[in-house]
């Protein structure tokens, strides 16, 4: 049987500020299978970012376990967590996080260079994924020469460059208009149809309804429903 892409068992995150403890995520058990498309919704301060940071190996749990592709990452060293992030997870941020002095091609190629991918393969993949997001005609354009929607699609291409099994998208349509947002969601759906697992944080119920399942977070407690 194929291992779940994500499985958590009693996943808990507590932040301590002096003598005060804040339980941002409370004993969470979730399972996400390969190829699923999951939306995470909840008000500000509900624990959405905490859950995403844990799944993305950007933070470590206070208690409980987190498995990614069957690997318990809860107790890994920072170097091993960095390897998991590099090899298994693609990140899409609300504010794009593109390097302004680099072209679309160079932005997509950069993360592959950190992963040790050779130059011919970096060029091949960058062109492939920029074509996938309909930006094959914008390869040599810098972020300032692209619209917000185009910049986010460059960010999506970058997230795919190391061929991860999991894509984490944090409010991917938050900084673009409705038309560009719909295009971005169409791209994510196409990526999902090709077999990638997608987890997206969104405040927009219309965006969430496009997922297979919605995880709702309130006061650090996760509940879920099928769309």
pLDDT reported for residue 203: 84
Q: What is the mean pLDDT of residues 207-225?
A: 89
- DSSP lists the bridge partners of residue 199 as 38, 168
Residue 84: the pLDDT is 92
As a whole number of angstroms, the distance between CA 119 and CA 153 comes to 22
Contacts of 4 (CB under 8 A, 6+ apart): 31, 32, 33, 34, 67, 70
Q: Would you call 174 helix, strand, or coil by DSSP?
A: coil
- % of residues, the chain, pLDDT over 90: 67
Q: What is the mean pLDDT of the chain?
A: 91
pLDDT tens by residue, 201-213: 988 888 899 999 9
Helices (H), the chain: 48-55, 78-88, 104-114, 119-132, 148-160, 178-193, 205-208
Summarize pLDDT for 115-169 with one digit per residue, the tens: 889 999 999 999 999 999 999 999 999 999 999 999 999 999 999 999 998 999 9
Task: State what percent of residues in the chain have pLDDT above 70.
Answer: 98
The answer to whether residue 92 scores a pLDDT higher than 80 is yes
Nearest CA-CA partner of 146 in 115, 82, 19, 156 = 156
What pTM did the predictor assign? 0.89
Rg, the chain, Cα only: 17
Report the C-alpha gap between 102 and 98 in whole angstroms. 8
**pLDDT class of 2 with cuts at 50, 70, 90:** low
SS3 (DSSP) at 75: coil
- 59 bridge partner residues: none
Residue 139 confidence (pLDDT): 95
- 159-194, pLDDT tens digit by residue? 999 999 899 998 888 888 888 888 888 989 999 999
Instruction: Break the chain into its structural domains and give their ranges.
Output: 35-60+76-226
Phi, psi angles (nearest 5°) of residue 75: -120, 15
pLDDT in tens, 38-56: 999 988 888 998 999 999 9
* Distance in angstroms (rounded) separating the CA atoms of residues 136 and 43: 37
Count of all residues that appear for the chain in the document = 227
Residue 224 has pLDDT above 80, yes or no: no
Q: Which one is the CATH code of 35-60+76-226: 3.90.550.10, 3.40.50.300, 3.20.20.70, 3.40.50.720?
A: 3.40.50.300
* For residue 227, pLDDT beyond 60: no
pLDDT average, residue stretch 82-100: 90
pLDDT of residue 95: 83
How are beta strands 63-68 and 71-72 bridged, if at all?
Answer: antiparallel
Alpha-carbon span 192 to 166, nearest angstrom: 10
d(CA 104, CA 151): 8
Q: Exposed (0-12), middle (13-18) or buried (19+): which is 225, by Cβ within 10 Å? A: exposed
């Amino acid at each position: 049987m194929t291992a779940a892409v994500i499985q958590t068992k009693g996943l808990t995150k507590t932040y301590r500020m002096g003598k005060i403890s804040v339980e941002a995520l409370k004993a969470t058990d979730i399972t996400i299978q390969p190829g699923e498309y999951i939306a995470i919704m909840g008000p500000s301060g509900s624990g959405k970012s905490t859950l995403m940071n844990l799944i993305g190996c950007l933070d470590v749990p206070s208690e409980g376990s987190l498995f990614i592709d069957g690997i318990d990452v809860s107790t890994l060293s920072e170097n091993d967590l960095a390897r998991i992030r590099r090899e298994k997870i693609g990140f899409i941020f609300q504010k794009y996080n593109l390097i302004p002095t680099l072209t679309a091609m160079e932005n997509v190629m950069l993360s592959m260079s950190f992963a040790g991918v050779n130059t011919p393969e970096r060029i091949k993949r960058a062109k492939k994924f920029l074509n996938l997001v309909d930006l094959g005609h914008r390869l040599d354009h810098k972020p300032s020469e692209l619209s917000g929607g185009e910049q986010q699609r460059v960010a999506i291409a970058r997230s795919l460059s190391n061929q991860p099994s999991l894509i984490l998208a944090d409010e991917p349509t938050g900084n673009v208009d409705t038309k560009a947002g719909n295009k971005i969601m169409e791209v994510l759906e196409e990526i999902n149809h090709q077999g990638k697992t997608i987890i997206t944080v969104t405040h927009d119920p219309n965006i969430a309804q496009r997922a297979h399942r919605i995880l709702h977070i309130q006061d650090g407690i996760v509940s879920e429903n099928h769309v």
